[in-house]
A = this chain, B = another copy of it.
Amino acid sequence: MTYSEENYIKVIYHLSLVSPKGINTNAIAGMIESKASSVTDMVKKLAEKELVDYQKYQGVTLTQKGLHAAKMIVRKHRLWEVFLVEKLDFTWDEVHDLAEELEHIKSEKLINRLDEFLGFPKEDPHGDPIPDRYGQMIKVEKQLLSEVGLNKKVMCLGVKDSSPSFLQYLDKHQISLGSEIEIINKEAFDMSLTILMNGKEILISNKIAGNLFVKVI
């Protein structure tokens, strides 16, 4: 598999998690920052290699082979992120782009040794699960903070968006994985929230709340 094929497979995998039907051309093009026509070309090649099932105009779905390949790329991405944060002291907002490169290093042995070196972590720095060598991963029940009712106490478990700007926003407000938050107000007009954290009240927008995964505690 080439660098580019791996990126497509990974994007199709991520899109599949949200909508389990056929993944359409434009959605892939949007994620990969290319054009629909380029996606059509690549999708044909992936179908040739039996990594996806594809019928014209009907979108694609991963085959078993494609699904496994995707999980192995995600495994590499997330293990490298853990390495960068745990061993090289990178911050959680710095690691994604580096992992985008490192995930393409082709060696099962390397990634399995790295896994071991890191102590077989179950989650990456953004709270996302790390597939094991067979593709198995834990499934933690989480919901978006924006969907939790008033007066509930929650713990922060992950982020939906792991862009530097969002992560830096969280850092600025001292919100990290494990933080405990109580929702004390929901503004009907814009769905912004007032939350209580470490005895301090913070106002956060609905967009922020819609990118934070939490569980009620």
Contacts and interface: CB of A to CB of B under 8 A. Distances in A.
Interface residues of A, number: 17
A109 B90 CA distance: 9
Interface in A88-119: 88-90, 94, 98, 101-102, 105-107, 109-110, 113-114, 117
B90 A113 contact: yes
Given A88-B117, A117-B87, A117-B88, A105 B101 contact: yes
A84 interface: yes
A101 to B, nearest CB: 5
A110 B89 CA distance: 10
B107 A98 contact: yes
A98 B114 CA distance: 13
Interface of A: 84, 87-90, 94, 98, 101-102, 105-107, 109-110, 113-114, 117
7 nearest A-B pairs in the assembled complex, by CB-CB distance:
A88-B113, A101-B105, A88-B117, A98-B107, A98-B110, A87-B117, A102-B105
Given A87-B117, A101-B107, 6 more contacts: A88-B110, A89-B113, A94-B109, A98-B107, A98-B110, A102-B105
